[in-house]
Amino acid sequence: MTPIPFFQVDAAADRPFAGNPAAVMPLDHWLADEVMQAIAQENNLSETAFTVPCDTDEADYHLRWFTPTDEVDMCGHATLAAGHVLSHGKPLRFLTRSGVLTVSRDEQDEGLLQLDLPAGVLREDEVPGLAAALGLSERTAWLADGCNDSAIMLLDNEAQVRAVRPDFAALKALPHMAIVTAPGAEHAIASRVFCPYLGIDEDPVTGSAHAALVPFWAERLGRTRFTALQASKRSGTFDCELRGDRVVLGARCVTVIEGYFQL
């Protein structure tokens, strides 16, 4: 058997059992795609992140993400988790399907990680069946290309966000990461994220969703910096900033398991 380093990290959390757990598996070289998918299914977390050292000056590492059922184009919380595991002070650049994503440590508080990723470009459109699958009255959605096909639905307040009870079977037939959001009670905004079509009924804390939510809310709030709560059962928060066509998410991470995957 070959041992592969394994880390399980609670991302967007300041303590164990909060935020969103991600597996991080640093590799020397890529495994076969079907093997990485099988490992992600075995881990049974919303994301498993695999890294390989980059052989060009473009980035420090290649990075790929797998849910238990699919490889995805973007994942924020597992990128933060990879930065948490691999960073030793200097910013790390990860070459991904979504371009180069950077994780750096805050200059005043090195426990705070900052993830730089592309902002979603939003458009308002109809998504037949989405509102009904979320148990909501019919309304338009805001779609964001490049953010795992995010579809944002705006509600009135955080209590409504918390009260949503989706029909997951109906949602699974729709190729969108469904996001419900509203002004928050203690934070500027609140949201929940559902992604059954990628094997995740409700994602606890979602960086790729906030790549769409930050420009969405920056326009409505009239400011580019604010805090965001993802109101899942595990719960987690991001410090959010819109910088032109980029989003910067600040969060903490906690390693809860460290060992080896025997392959």
Active site residues: 47
Helix ranges restricted to H, 74-201: 76-86, 130-133, 158-163, 168-172
User: CB atoms < 10 A from the CB of 221, how many?
Assistant: 13
- CB 62, CB 92: distance < 8 Å: no
Q: Please name the residues in contact with 81: beta carbons below 8 A apart, sequence gap of 6 or more.
A: 7, 9, 11, 22, 24, 49, 253
Structure tokens at 146: 């490049």
Q: How far apart are CA 228 and CA 184, in angstroms?
A: 8
Q: How far apart are CA 34 and CA 36, in angstroms?
A: 6
- Kindly report the CA angle at 9 between 164 and 26, in degrees rounded to 5? 125
Residue with tokens 């238990």: 68
CA-based R_g, the chain, Å:
17
- Bridge partners of residue 166, in order along the sequence: none
